[in-house]
Copies of this chain bind each other. A is one copy, B any other.
């Protein structure tokens, strides 16, 4: 029997072929995928994932795991001849344990569904990102999702207590731990988290929940220099125990996006604008502490001005500038996602901006990011851009990241699109060790081949 016949015999209607394979399965949100998969398997249970992989492995059939397809690195794009395994039917909350502060979810559960279930039980699920409506927990973990709330509760990896994954050969490895402390051998969870589906397919997880904030205080601050951005960050970390977000915007980014919203919030456009947000907990009013913190920063000249949101609507207006949807209207927008030691970010942005503007004088170049998480985003759009331009921009940005010993991907992952730049961030010894691990776990190389490490 062919692999498809065998899959259909074992899994019946869970296997889509021919016209039943819709456009959806062609690409993630980078829209870089050009090829439909040979077939799509949509398992309805962990056992069905295991059966599908066992059959594919026996046939040497390559498999691309797919979640909500909101990735930006091409990690879920099929290559010609790949079979997609979509987790979309493996969805649901299995348990919320209020005493353990944990929830158990299937991998295909949309993030927002899991967030709501946590909130209904009085908890915060700290994993959050813009694509929350369509991305899935399995994909969030496979790519070690970041987002804007990392400064308080860490990246996805930091919020996983237990994990279950299916190996290439169909072995189900279940480590559904609920404990905070568990030192019984190797941490298998962390191996699968962030491996972008190349070591196994994540099927279930025990996620860690946190107390639900009772409210938020939001301020938008104007600052003169990157060194003041760092000073304010340090003070916020020291003085605001519930610091929930710290988002910096460089002048060109802030100007472009506030003008697009028709807002003029400061008398003159500051060199840096920073959103500082404090999560509230418990019974006491914290607004005095928050305003005293801002007052001291003003007095000491760390900030030039500060606006405290007086309503949720005002806070949303600050956040809309930060989200920068106006940029999406620019032609061929590139959005980089790099990280650098916090002390290096200011110099890096200066150098990177100069290098890009020297080569593309007409281009929009702007910087913004989760500075407290060492994460910088770069927006680039050139009206006269070509495919070649885009490659040149990649080369300029990533080579500079390499000289700063930074990361070419802070949160989006490597997938297909950043594979050629991985060497700027990881040494030959690291890459060789990753290949060894890949070979040990997936000796036939069927799991998402070509992604992250290229051909092994």
Contact = CB atoms under 8 A, between A and B. Distances in A.
Residue among A102, A292, A343, A413 with most chain B CB within 10 A: A343
Nearest to A200: B433
A433 B157 contact: no
Given A180-B339, A238-B211, A242-B241, A434 B97 contact: no
Contacts of A339: 179-182
7 contacts: A175-B426, A179-B374, A185-B426, A188-B434, A240-B281, A284-B292, A437-B440
A429 B293 CA distance: 52
Interface string A168-193: 00011111011111111111101101
- Nearest first, the 8 closest Cβ-Cβ pairs linking A and B are A99-B343, A239-B282, A190-B190, A440-B440, A241-B241, A181-B410, A179-B374, A179-B339
Contact of A374 (B100, B370, B407, B453): B100
A51 interface: no
Contact of A436 (B375, B418, B441): B441
A427 interface: yes
Interface string A330-370: 00000000011111000000000000000000000000001
Interface string A426-450: 1101111110110111000000000
A82 interface: no
Contact of A179 (B144, B175, B340): B340
Nearest to A172: B429
Interface string A140-175: 000110100010001101100000000100011111
Contact of A184 (B180, B190, B341, B407): B407
Given A199-B186, A434-B188, A181 B414 contact: no
Given A173-B429, A239-B281, A411 B181 contact: yes
A155 B190 CA distance: 14
A180 B284 contact: no
A406 B181 CA distance: 10
Contacts of A175: 426, 430
Nearest to A184: B425
Contact of A183 (B99, B194, B241, B406): B194
B427 A174 contact: yes
A27 to B, nearest CB: 20
Interface string A287-298: 001001100100
B100 A179 contact: no
A232 B98 CA distance: 13
A242 B239 CA distance: 11
